[in-house]
Structure 1
Amino acid sequence: METLSPNIFTNDMKGTIAFYEILGFKKTMSVPEEGDELVWAMMVTGSVTMMFQTFESLAEELPEISRNNGGSLLLYINVKDITVFFDKIKDKVTVLKGLEKTFYGATEFSILDNNNYVLTFAEHE
């Protein structure tokens, strides 16, 4: 195995792209390539790749996919300069847990994305 790129389902593709742009992600690919009604998009920042897809686009092909936002999923993302990153986004997102030092030596904070997924950002010393 080499990489993991989560494909997150959304009911609001425009809102999702806008939210992840706040975090520094850039859209690199989409289906269709242009237009307002995207059904899939890939966004990248640094070496982190996230894909987003509408529930409807896979409803017939994979009906097993949950049709609820959020769920029992936490995405753990390593970053550098976590304090600077936190200060940059804290007033633009829903912060669930502010900056704190963990027992295992990481500095972390957690936010909620626009689809109710929890994102935890961490910097390890």
Structure 2
Amino acid sequence: MEASNITTELLVEDMKKTLDFYKDVLDFEVKMSFPEEDPFFAIIRNNKAELMLYTREKFLQDIPDFAKEKMGGTFALYIRVKDIVELFDDLKNKVKIIQELYSTSYGKLEFSFYDCNGYVLMLHE
């Protein structure tokens, strides 16, 4: 196998709510959505960070075994950002914080929070 790229696809319960969260709270742009009215799939981007979003309902039509899985999963999106102190101050009242801003043992500043679907986002600088 020779992989050339990997993109994370998140299952979401409510596409509109999710797009609003990523646009309004995290400054992502919608690069593509399908269909345009009431989409079940979208690609969003912030600078070089890209995510695919797919409604859980539509995804389960293709892969019904996922019906037993809990939303949010057991992974975290680890996202490098700039100006993390200012970003933390801006987000701390808009999201459910898991870990306050702190210095890690490996020299990074980090904080983490839940997105609107229960996924963990860990931001670091």
TM-score (norm 1): 0.89
How far apart are the structure 2 equivalents of 1:23 and 1:89?
9
- Alignment correspondent of 2:27: 24
2:109 alignment counterpart: 107
Q: Is 1:75 the counterpart of 2:73 in the alignment?
A: no
Deviations 1:60-91 (A, max 9, x none): 32122245311211111111111121122221
Aligned alpha-carbon RMSD (Å): 1.4
Percent of counterpart pairs with the same letter?
Answer: 36
- For residues 30-63 of structure 1, the C-alpha deviation after alignment (integer angstroms, 9 at most, x for no partner) is 010x21x210111100100011101121223212
Are the counterparts in 1 of residues 11 and 59 from structure 2 also a CA contact under 8 Å? Answer: no
Q: TM-score, normalised by structure 2?
A: 0.89
Tell me which amino acid in the other structure corresponds to 1:75: L
Shift >3 Å, 4+ stretches: none
Q: In the aligned structure 2, how far is the partner of 1:70 from the partner of 1:14?
A: 17
Q: SS of the residue aligned with 1:85?
A: helix
Greater share of residues in helix = 2
Matches within 5 A, 1:3-82: 3-21=5-23, 22-32=25-35, 34-35=36-37, 37-66=38-67, 67-82=69-84
Query: SS at 2:6's partner residue?
Result: coil
Distance 1:120 1:38 in 2: 27
- Per-residue deviation at 1:2? 4.2
Partner SS for 1:4: coil
For residue 58 of structure 2, give the secondary structure of its aligned residue in structure 1.
helix
Structure 1 108/2 Cα, relative in aligned 2: closer, same or farther at 3 Å? farther
